[in-house]
Amino acid sequence: MDLYEVFKQCGAVTTDSRAIRGGELFFGLKGENFDGSDYALKALEAGVVYAVVSADSEAAKFGDPRVIPVPDTLKALQDLAREHRERTLVDGKRLTVIGLTGTNGKTTTKNLITKVLSTCYRVTATEGNLNNDIGVPLSLLKINSATQLAVIEMGASHPDDIGRLCAVCEPDYGLITNVGKAHLLGFGSLDGVKKAKGQLYDYIHTHDGSIFLNTDDPVLTEMAEAREGIKRIEYGIAREGVEILPASGEHPFLRMRFPALLESRLVGAYNATNVMAAVAVGRHFGVRLEDAIRAIGEYIPDNNRSQMERTARNILIEDAYNANPTSMAAALDNFSLVEAARKVALLGDMRELGPDSVREHMDILRKAESLSLDLICLVGEEFGKAVANLGRRTNVQLFNTSADLADWLREHPVSGATILVKGSRGIQMEKVLPEL
């Protein structure tokens, strides 16, 4: 059975038997503790038209003509997505795909690029941060006949992840937001991160595409120069003479002068490079600067990414979706520029740093202490080890979990403060927000 013809008949794909609306093509993917093929028959009962299952699964033995057995369901999903990407045409030409990755700012940059391009085009983009082996093909399979451009985010925690994802989405353009310290447990070192993220440049170079290059970033510039002859579309704050205006209580969000004024809803000057990337991509595809500035100004971050919230008692800078040494240091640098009578930092562990973890947490604690904050609350085992190595601090409170910190804040309310909340996703720092 031709799987692509089946997909065209269904028009939509699902991998979750609990989220079936009817008419989809179901893929029974394997996880560490489950096999989605076991739910194929239930998915059919719930309304999917066909179900793709592992050839060795029980569902494959029933002889139901709606069950499509394959050797590897994930590979089948990825192959289908690649075929769909290759067969999608816009005005008789192959669909243009922009692929992006990076240590920090991937999802924000992807959202900004999508907002800017959407002023002139119908854009299909990665939803949320579905940027892994499953998320990338699912994003590609949402491309439809109306799509004029696609923006695909790719994440990585292991050395070959980006290469595999590029082989699925086949990007024509590539953008790396930055390269920093993250997932060191999987990459081994910062050089390992550079090599892994650089697979996007490798793919673009090999396939005669173009990269969007932030010339303010010496690491990215070096990586591009190492790939002689790669086509570059350059941008940068220094290159274009853009001014980042200071934040204040009256103007807490990122503002930039192009010379036209851009007033965003993003917290932190570190988001300026994300804005510049979106403007550069928009400009290349013919979006006027004034339209790009308007679109970026309308973008409101969510999911605890660079958000600012005023509660009844405090001002919160919520950046609790993820954390690594590079993004944590950038958040603290930005926090140091915030003008406030009372400043508090609530910081959760940074995950997957391997042997460097304790040292990196010690460096972040030292940096936080250098800001003369009124209170620093740390959550997690790794920060616990950092405190043990550095010794107890007078204005530092240490907690095992974010729930423990929430309990403490309930008993010791903080009021009249500007509060930075940041930590890796697994620490769940959002649990403390209701107490602030």
pLDDT of residue 185: 60
In degrees, to the nearest 5, what angle opens at C-alpha 376 toward C-alphas 371 and 381?
A: 125
> Could you tell me whether strands 173-176 and 67-70 are parallel, antiparallel, or unpaired per DSSP bridges?
unpaired
Contact 324, 187 (CB under 8 A): no
Exposed e or buried b per residue across 271-293, where buried means at least 16 C-beta atoms within 10 angstroms of its C-beta:
bbbbbbbbbbbbbebebeeeebb
Among 116-120, 160-164, 359-363, 382-386, top mean pLDDT goes to 116-120
What's the whole-number mean pLDDT along residues 383-387?
93
Q: What's the mean pLDDT in 119-144? A: 93
pLDDT at 423: 87
In this structure, what token pair is assigned to residue 266?
């993003």
The second-level CATH assignment, the architecture, of 88-298 is 3-Layer(aba) Sandwich (3.40)
Q: What is the pLDDT of residue 92?
A: 92
Question: Domain spans of the chain?
Answer: 3-72, 88-298, 307-435
The CATH topology of domain 3-72 is 3.40.1390
Question: In the predicted model, is pLDDT for residue 186 greater than 70?
Answer: no
User: Is pLDDT of 25 > 60?
Assistant: yes
Predicted confidence at residue 188, as pLDDT, reads 62
Q: What is the mean pLDDT of residues 347-355?
A: 88
**How open is the CA angle 282-271-162, to the nearest 5 degrees?**
70
Q: What percentage of the chain reaches a pLDDT higher than 90?
A: 70
Measure the CA–CA gap between 331 and 180, rounded to whole angstroms. 14
CATH code, 307-435: 3.90.190.20
How large is the average pLDDT for residues 275-300?
97
Q: Which helix (H) or strand (E) holds 19?
A: none
Question: Is pLDDT of 104 > 90?
Answer: no
DSSP 225-257: HTSTT-EEEEE-HHHHT-EEEPP-SSS-S-EEE
CB distance 423 to 323 below 8 Å: yes
Give tens-digit pLDDT for 390-419: 887 778 999 999 999 999 999 999 999 999
What pLDDT score does 183 carry?
53
* Span 36-85, pLDDT tens digits: 999 999 999 999 999 999 999 989 888 889 999 999 999 999 999 999 99
Which amino acid is located at 210 in the chain?
S
Residue 176 confidence (pLDDT) above 70:
yes
Residue 128 reports pLDDT greater than 90: no
Q: What is the mean pLDDT of residues 173-183?
A: 83
208: nearest Cα among 163, 177, 164, 171: 171
Residue 341: pLDDT over 90? no
Q: Across residues 112-136, what is the average pLDDT? A: 94
| Between residues 95 and 321, the one the model is more confident about | 95
Q: Output the CA–CA distances (angstroms, integers) from residue 232 to 14, 28, 403, in the order listed.
A: 37, 41, 47
Looking at every residue in the chain, the average pLDDT score rounds to 91
CA distances from 355 to 153, 180, 433 (A): 28, 16, 31
Q: What is the pLDDT of residue 268?
A: 83
DSSP for 261-278 reads EEE-S--SGGGHHHHHHH
In the predicted structure, residue 180 carries a pLDDT above the cut 80: no
This prediction has a pTM of 0.83
Let me know how many helices (H) and strands (E) the chain has, helices first.
17, 21
Q: How is residue 307 annotated by DSSP?
A: E
List residues bridging with 397 in a β-sheet: 377
Mean of the pLDDT values across residues 137-145? 95
